[in-house]
Amino acid sequence: MVGWIIFLGQPTSFSTKLRMVFVQLCTPFVKLGDYFPFVQSRRVLAKQNEELHQENDVLRQEVRALSETGRENIRLRELLNLKEHTAFHTVTARVIGRDSSNWWKSIQIDRGSNDGVRENLAVLNADGLIGKIVSVTHGEARVLLLSDPNCKVSALLQDTREPGVASGSDAAFSFSPHCVMTYVNRDAKVKTGENVITSGLGGVFPKGIVIGTVTGVQLNKQTGMYQDVEIKPAVDFRRLEEVIVILE
């Protein structure tokens, strides 16, 4: 092998021709590498692969963002439709926080006194009653949820027109809170599935807002004079994102 290298390096006419033949034989194999991807550098391929992965991740994020925007638009259209069909002056707000000690006690919204919000105003969404405003700052407000026992609402059984008081049950550790309507006449014919609405008494909650539906009834064991009506709330308190505050 060393002898051939020395021989081809000599400046003779025969070695010059031999070098030309050798170069011509090797050139097709060198050019052939340009036509096969697997000859390319692994580092280049790895870089291209990483760039494609990153581009794919970006596209996935954009698709998810568009999907979430679509869902939000549906919710906002429902609230807009509610605002258009109510005679009250209202303002739309976003939920920005929850009570850390009790998930079903209260929420924080991004509207305050600067937007006309004040204490003891009713809060609802397209499904029904949510609660009432209990504290206000310039830019935020706290809403006491109907699922809290301290939120008392004057209520009516929609079909029988029997009155009572609706409030939350003790739902601090409940996955799906429910409400109860107390002080219902013991002789009232309460029907499962009947709607419960606000009665309009008390000056906080306007009349006719849906509270929920009757799921059960039993005689109050302490007094024996009234029935306690179990209510499934119309609102899903686990999924509150946008709400409406009735200003007047």
**Is residue 234 packed enough to be buried (19+ CB in 10 Å), middle (13-18) or exposed (0-12)?**
buried
The mean per-residue pLDDT over the stretch 144-166 comes to 93
Which of 3.30.1050.10, 3.10.20.30, 2.40.10.350, 3.20.20.140 is the CATH number of 153-233? Answer: 2.40.10.350
User: CA 202 to CA 199: how far, in whole Å?
Assistant: 9
pLDDT tens string 25-51: 555 544 444 545 555 566 777 777 777
Q: What is the DSSP letter of 174?
A: -
Q: Inform me whether the pLDDT recorded for 15 exceeds 60.
A: no
3-state secondary structure at position 53: helix
In angstroms, the first-to-last Cα distance of the chain is: 102
Q: Inform me whether the pLDDT recorded for 202 exceeds 80.
A: yes
Model's pTM, two decimal places?
0.66
Residue 167's pLDDT is what?
94
Rg (CA), the chain: 37
Nearest to 195 by CA among 234, 228, 165: 234
